[in-house]
Every structure is written in C-alpha cells, then in structure tokens.
C-alpha cells in the first residue's frame, strides 16, 4: 500500500497536514486544503453544533444535559470541541466573536468559575490556555496559573487540589502543550519557556516511558496509541509535543527520546501503518477515526512525521 496516498485520501483536517509535513506540497496547495476545514467534513460538522451563546452542548467541559451514569466522558461540550477544531487547523477567524460570547456566557462546572480564567484541572486549563491564545482573547491570568502550580519535581498534577505533590505524566504533557501553544500564538515568553523546560525535564528524565522509582513502564497506556489523543498520555503524543517544541526553539531532538522512538517504530505494522489501539469511550459529535484494531490514518500521520523528524536530525531509531 502507498501509505502517503492513503493518508492524502482523507478529510481536509488531516489532508492539509499530510500535504505540508509529509508530501512537501507548496503552501498554495495545503493552504487551500486547510481553508476547506470550515466548509466540509469534520470541521464543518463540529461548527454546525455551536450554540448562539458560543458554547457547544450548553456547557464548558461537560454538556448541560450530562448523564453521570453515561459510558465514558462526553467530548461534545465547548472545551473538547474547541480543542479539536484548533488541532484540525481551523482558521480562528471563522470563530470571530466566540471568545467574547464564552466570556459572557460560559462558566466552569467546577465552582461556576469564569471560562477564560480556567478552573483547577491542569489538563482542562492546558487546553483552555491554548484555545484562548488561538482565539486571541486575554488568558494572561491562566498563563500565570501554570507558573504558580508547577510542582517541585518540575511537572504538574491535576490532583494538586487533593494535596498531591508528585507530578503526573498526563497532566505534565497537557500543561506543556498548552504553554507551548500560548507561546506560538502570543510570541516568545522567557518566563513561560523556562517553566516549560523544567516540565520537559520531568518527562525526559523518565525517557517519556518509565517511573524513576523502579524503571518500569509508568502505565499500560504509555505504549498504546489512540487518536484523538484527548488528554491521555502516550509515547506518541509526547513525542509529537517534543517535535513541535524543538522546531519552535530551533533545536534538535534530545537523545533521551530514543527509547520512545523505538516504541513507536516497533508499533508499525508490516504495511507501514499504525493501528488504532483503543477508543476513548464517551459521546462525540462525529467519529473522526477508525475503530480499535484498524489502520489509522491519523496515527500513521503522527508516527511518520515524528520518525521523519528524528531521521532528518541524523538520529537512528
């Protein structure tokens, strides 16, 4: 199978990234594909569900009609939907006025806090920081929140509010992704960059995979890849972040990523694809990838892009 052509035969949300990052298409080609996100396919479907108040499903992180007994966390409310649209590459101009509507109408389910000030969950705040910077609204208070809540070991943990002082792989990666996106949209931020480097060291010391205490895999999820990534940690999700961070900083890949690269390489099927490892349960507006056990165009794109970056820097898996 020609995996490149297979990936190109996809929704505009994926196709433009394949054109730009794998196929070497000129800007006029991938930019035209990217513009189609707003009018067709996955992006247009998600946009069609936005309410007049600027929200999706009537809620900040959970739908207004959220059933606590439902199977899995729903992904239809405002924050997960905005995050997906941003990761698809939607032009923020398409959502002109949305940030202002959310400031006026949306409150967190936790303590009824104002939307753009964030709440207490690191992963939720990471997405909100990135989404706010993308939409061009003031999230300076939330930016400072990450500096104030970084733990002594360099990372973050969503359970800090319960008294945890030990960082989490999941929380740390989501904090880093949000902070990097903030810098990309807002411009260089030396204080935030220094904080990110401490967070990166937390993961690099553990080679993206292992506990420091006994050298064992940090969890069974670390080498199981699923897309959408959502807030869940995996070696591939982390490598995608470190690729983006290195490109932003103009540096090469850290050699401590080697074992995580080996995990990604080892998960490649004989036909050159990567298989969907699992599905995160929960209600969605639209299915954007295949069922578990099937070859995933999205995972194949992310894995191929990471391995190409590694190879282009002169590293050998």
pLDDT of residue 237: 98
pLDDT of residue 316: 60
Largest CA distance in the chain: 52
**CA neighbor of 177 nearest in space, from 248, 280, 117:** 248
Model confidence, pTM: 0.96
Mind listing the pLDDT tens digit for each residue in 28-59? Answer: 999 999 999 999 999 999 999 999 999 999 99
Answer whether residue 254 shows pLDDT above 60: yes
Cβ-contact 79, 23 below 8 angstroms: no
User: CA-based angle 105:107:112, to the nearest 5?
Assistant: 140
pLDDT band, residue 137 (cuts 50/70/90): very high
């Amino acid at each position: 199978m020609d995996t490149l052509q297979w990936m190109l035969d996809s929704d505009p949300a994926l196709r433009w990234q394949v054109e730009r990052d794998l196929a070497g298409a000129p800007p006029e080609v991938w930019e035209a594909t990217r513009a189609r996100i707003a009018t067709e396919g996955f992006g247009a479907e998600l946009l069609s569900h936005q309410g007049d108040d600027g929200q999706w499903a009537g809620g900040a992180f959970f739908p207004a009609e959220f059933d606590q007994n439902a199977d899995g966390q729903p992904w239809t409310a405002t924050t997960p939907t905005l995050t997906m649209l941003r990761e698809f590459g939607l032009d923020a101009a398409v959502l002109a006025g949305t940030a202002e509507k959310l400031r006026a109408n949306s409150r967190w389910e936790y303590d009824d806090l104002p939307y753009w000030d964030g709440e207490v969950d690191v992963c939720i705040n990471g997405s909100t920081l990135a989404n706010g910077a993308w939409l061009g609204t003031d999230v300076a208070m939330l930016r400072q929140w990450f500096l104030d809540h970084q733990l002594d070991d360099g990372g973050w943990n969503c359970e800090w509010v319960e008294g945890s002082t030990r960082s989490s792989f999941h929380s740390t990666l989501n904090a880093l992704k949000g902070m990097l996106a903030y810098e990309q949209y807002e411009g260089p931020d030396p204080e935030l960059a220094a904080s990110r480097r401490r967070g990166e060291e937390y993961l690099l010391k553990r080679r993206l995979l292992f506990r420091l205490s006994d050298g064992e895999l940090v969890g069974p999820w670390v080498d199981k890849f699923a897309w959408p990534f959502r807030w869940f940690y995996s070696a591939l999700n982390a490598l995608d972040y470190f690729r983006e961070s290195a490109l932003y900083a103009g540096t090469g890949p850290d050699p401590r990523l080697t074992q995580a690269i080996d995990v990604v390489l080892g998960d490649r099927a004989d036909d050159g694809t990567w298989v969907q490892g699992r599905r995160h349960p929960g209600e969605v507006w639209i299915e954007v990838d295949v069922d578990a056990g099937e070859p995933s165009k999205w995972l194949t794109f992310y894995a191929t892009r990471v391995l190409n970056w590694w190879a282009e820097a002169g590293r050998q898996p």
